[in-house]
């Protein structure tokens, strides 16, 4: 294989086992820099399984940007691949645009009945981080409303034909613990949040601050509220860590947004992270972007969030998701509960203070979820027993 261009760390070169993984990662940034272009060309000259690369772009949810960048290399790829890529790009961007129009309409209807919303991620990220709403795919509309408006928002969504994806008897405890209320209608899903992160994660960003600093951007011809870029960046860092960075698209979001933050804004991210004892969470996110989304040119390793070696194991653990998606279906052997426990241990590893880890663990033991059976006292005991069993198995079975 042709030597790769200089400018990338040894770790990033070793995280992806196959050239197809590396090619998709390289072409998932917008705009495509000369360094990334050279890296992609080196991979292509080494030989590419194009079916596998196309499937990876779909699995990793980066089709619009990947195919757009691939077409910029059309003189270096087979003619039949150019045709496939052009059709795939058109379809992917059309899907992203259609999803955006749907999400904007949901917000329009909510605000039409006096329920203000802040749009999280999705099309807001397309505009802010990719400069084009059609470059950022998404499946759900994540909306932040005030706690006082939460019940009205629930009723309004149900009036629009959205069915709740939770038991009505669980609603009170879900709200009390800061979980989103999820609804679905004809394959589309809306998540209503009144706080950004569940309380058991012990990273509480004050709702009043989020609403006071919210900004407006134009999305599909309509002015909509979204988080300011500093709060959005910290939220994306925390959201990725919460879910073990299981989606490659989330890593690209960090790389894209970081590139657009000014030095002043990045300093504000640092101050906000220190205020909430979340510097390691930001460090993990920026290392993911630097090593997996190839954002070496951002200088994120010198961002002042701590010693990068402290999160190397977490970066490698997350990278497993991306390789396994290439050829393997989701494992049927791991329960949803076991998956949640794995994500919880990952989140604890991303916290820098022992007191926060202990707080997360204690809150998690006392916060039953839908899969826990029985009345509230029984559910708490049952959940605690299962958590202890899983912890024992993780410590004793290799």
Residue 345 · residue 44 · CB < 8 Å: no
120: left (phi over 0), alpha (psi -120 to 50) or beta: beta
Q: How far is CA 19 from CA 3, 32, 121, in A?
A: 12, 18, 30
Give the number of other Cβ atoms within 10 Å of residue 159's Cβ: 10
More confident site: 1 or 303 = 303
More confident site: 193 or 382 = 193
3-state secondary structure of 193: strand
The CA radius of gyration of the chain, in Å to the nearest whole number, is 21
Q: What is the pTM of this model?
A: 0.88
More confident site: 100 or 298 = 100
> 152-179: per-residue pLDDT in tens?
999 999 999 999 999 999 999 999 999 9
- Burial of 181 per CB tally in 10 Å (0-12, 13-18, 19+): buried
Residue 291 · residue 12 · CB < 8 Å: yes
> 184-211: per-residue pLDDT in tens?
999 899 999 999 999 999 999 999 999 9
Domain boundary assignment for the chain: 10-328, 333-398
Q: How far is CA 270 from CA 90, 242, 304, in A?
A: 39, 19, 8
11-20, 106-115, 224-233: the lowest-pLDDT one? 11-20
Beta-strand ranges (E) seen in the chain are: 118-120, 140-144, 163-164, 181-185, 188-193, 215-219, 222-226
Mean pLDDT value across residues 2-11: 52
Q: How many Å apart are CA 110 and CA 114, to the nearest integer?
A: 7
Backbone torsions φ then ψ of 275, nearest 5 degrees: -60, -35
Q: What is the CATH number of domain 10-328?
A: 3.30.460.40
pLDDT at 347 over 90: yes
Q: How far is CA 122 from CA 96, 228, 232, in A?
A: 9, 15, 12
Q: How far is CA 377 from CA 127, 367, 382, 384, in A?
A: 46, 11, 9, 11
Angle at alpha carbon of residue 145, lines to 140 and 148, rounded to 5°:
145
Q: Give the pLDDT score at 329.
A: 43
Which residue stretches of 149-298 are H helix? Answer: 150-159, 171-176, 207-213, 229-242, 248-260, 263-275, 279-291
Tally of CA atoms within 13 A in the half-sphere of 392 that contains its CB? 6
Q: How far is CA 369 from CA 229, 365, 380, 394, in A?
A: 32, 10, 9, 21
Q: Give the pLDDT score at 361.
A: 87
Q: Give the pLDDT score at 334.
A: 45
pLDDT at 102 over 90: yes
Q: Give the pLDDT score at 320.
A: 81
pLDDT at 246 over 60: yes
Q: Give the pLDDT score at 339.
A: 72
| Confidence tier at 15 by pLDDT (50, 70, 90) | confident
Q: How far is CA 371 from CA 91, 189, 267, 386, in A?
A: 37, 20, 41, 11
Structure-block tokens of residue 111: 């605000």
Mean pLDDT value across residues 355-360: 93
What percent of the chain is helix, strand and coil (3-state, nearest 5)?
A: 65, 10, 30
| Confidence tier at 296 by pLDDT (50, 70, 90) | low
| Confidence tier at 8 by pLDDT (50, 70, 90) | low
């Amino acid at each position: 294989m042709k030597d790769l261009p200089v400018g990338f760390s040894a770790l990033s070169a070793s995280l992806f086992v196959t050239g197809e993984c590396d090619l998709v990662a390289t072409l998932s940034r917008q705009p495509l820099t000369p360094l990334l272009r050279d890296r992609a060309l080196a991979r292509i000259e080494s030989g590419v399984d194009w079916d596998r690369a196309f499937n990876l772009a779909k699995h990793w949810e980066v089709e619009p940007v990947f195919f757009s960048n691939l077409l910029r290399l059309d003189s270096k790829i087979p003619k039949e691949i150019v045709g496939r890529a052009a059709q795939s790009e058109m379809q992917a961007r059309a899907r992203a645009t259609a999803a955006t129009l749907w999400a904007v309409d949901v917000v329009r209807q909510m605000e039409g009945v006096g329920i203000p919303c802040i749009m999280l991620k999705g099309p807001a990220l397309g505009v802010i981080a990719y400069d084009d709403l059609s470059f950022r795919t998404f499946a759900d509309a994540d909306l932040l409303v005030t706690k006082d408006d939460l019940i009205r928002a629930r009723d309004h969504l149900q009036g629009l034909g959205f069915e709740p994806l939770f038991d009505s008897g669980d609603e009170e405890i879900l709200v009390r613990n800061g979980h989103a209320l999820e609804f679905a209608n004809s394959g589309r899903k809306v998540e209503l949040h009144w706080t950004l992160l569940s309380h058991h994660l012990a990273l509480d960003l004050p709702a009043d601050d989020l609403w006071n600093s919210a900004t407006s951007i134009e999305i599909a011809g309509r002015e909509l509220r979204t988080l300011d870029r500093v709060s959005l960046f910290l939220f994306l860092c925390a959201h990725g860590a919460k879910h073990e960075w299981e989606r490659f698209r989330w890593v690209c979001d960090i790389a894209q947004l970081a590139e657009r933050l000014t030095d002043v804004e990045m300093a504000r991210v640092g101050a906000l992270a220190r205020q909430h004892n979340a510097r390691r969470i930001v460090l993990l996110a920026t290392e993911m972007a630097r090593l997996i989304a190839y954002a070496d040119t951002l200088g994120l390793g010198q961002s002042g969030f701590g010693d990068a070696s402290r999160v190397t194991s977490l970066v490698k653990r997350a990278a497993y998701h991306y390789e396994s998606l290439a050829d393997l279906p989701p494992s049927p052997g791991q329960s949803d509960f076991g998956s949640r426990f794995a994500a919880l241990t990952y989140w604890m590893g991303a916290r820098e203070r022992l007191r926060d880890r202990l707080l997360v663990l204690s809150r998690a033991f006392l916060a039953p979820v839908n899969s826990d059976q029985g009345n509230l006292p029984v559910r708490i005991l049952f959940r605690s027993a299962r958590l202890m069993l899983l912890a024992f198995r993780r410590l004793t079975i290799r």
